[in-house]
Chain A
Amino acid sequence: MKEIVIISGKGGTGKTSLAASFAYLGGKDVVVADCDVDAADMHLLLEPDFKFPEDFFSGELAYIEQDRCIQCGKCEDVCRFDAITHNNLKFIVDLISCEGCGYCARVCPANAIINIKPNVGKWYISTIKTGSIMVHARLGIGAGNSGKLVAKVKNKAKEIAEDEFKEFIIVDGSPGIGCPVVSSLSGASFVVLVTEPSVSGFHDLKRVYELVHKFKIRTACIINKVDLNFSITAEIEEFLEEEKILLIGKLPYNEDFTAAMTYGQTIVEYSNGYLRDLVVNSWEKIKQALINIKYLK
Chain B
Amino acid sequence: MTNHRPLKIAIASGKGGTGKTTLATNLASYLAEKMEVVLIDLDVEEPNSGLFIQGDLNHEEDKFKMVPVWVEDQCTLCGICQKVCNFHALIQLGKMIMVFPELCHGCYACSELCPESALPMVPKKMGKLVHYKNHQLHFIESRLEIGEEQAVPLIRQTRKYIDEHFKNEIICIYDAPPGTSCPVIEATKDADIVILVTEPTPFGLHDLKLAIETMIKLNKRIGVVLNRYGIGNDDVLNYCEEEGIPVLAKIPNSRHIAELYSQGKLIYRITSEVKNEFDKIISNLGILIN
Contact = CB atoms under 8 A, between A and B. Distances in A.
**Do A and B bind?**
yes
Interface stretch (B27-35, B166-174, B176-184): B176-184
Residue of B18, B51, B84, B182 with most partner-chain A CB within 10 A: B182
B203 A16 contact: yes
A200 B84 contact: no
Given A39-B16, A39-B180, A80-B107, A178 B144 contact: yes
Contacts of A232: 262
B149 A147 contact: yes
B232 A144 contact: no
B180 A178 contact: no
A255 B203 contact: no
A247 B90 CA distance: 39
Interface in A73-87: 78, 80-81
Interface string B141-153: 0001011111100
A223 B217 CA distance: 38
A199 B149 contact: no
A106 B15 contact: no
Q: Which 6 pairs, one residue from A and one from B, show the smallest C-beta to C-beta distance?
A: A12-B17, A11-B16, A101-B107, A38-B179, A198-B262, A11-B17
A44 B202 contact: yes
Given A200-B51, A211-B147, A11 B180 contact: no
Interface of B: 14-18, 21, 43, 45-46, 48, 51-52, 84, 86-87, 105-109, 112-113, 144, 146-151, 177-183, 185, 201-203, 206-207, 210, 213-214, 217-218, 231-233, 255, 258-259, 261-264
Interface in A36-72: 38-39, 41, 44, 59-60
Interface in A242-268: 253, 255, 258, 261-262, 264
Contact of B255 (A16, A176, A253): A253
Contacts of B263: 198-199, 229
Interface of A: 9-13, 16, 38-39, 41, 44, 59-60, 78, 80-81, 96, 99-103, 106-107, 139, 141-147, 174-180, 182, 196-201, 203-204, 207-208, 210-211, 214, 225, 228-229, 232, 253, 255, 258, 261-262, 264
B5 to A, nearest CB: 24
Contacts of B255: 228, 253
A196 B48 CA distance: 14
B149 A182 contact: yes
Nearest to B16: A11
A177 B146 CA distance: 7
A16 B214 CA distance: 22
Nearest to B146: A210
A155 to B, nearest CB: 16
A80 B108 contact: yes
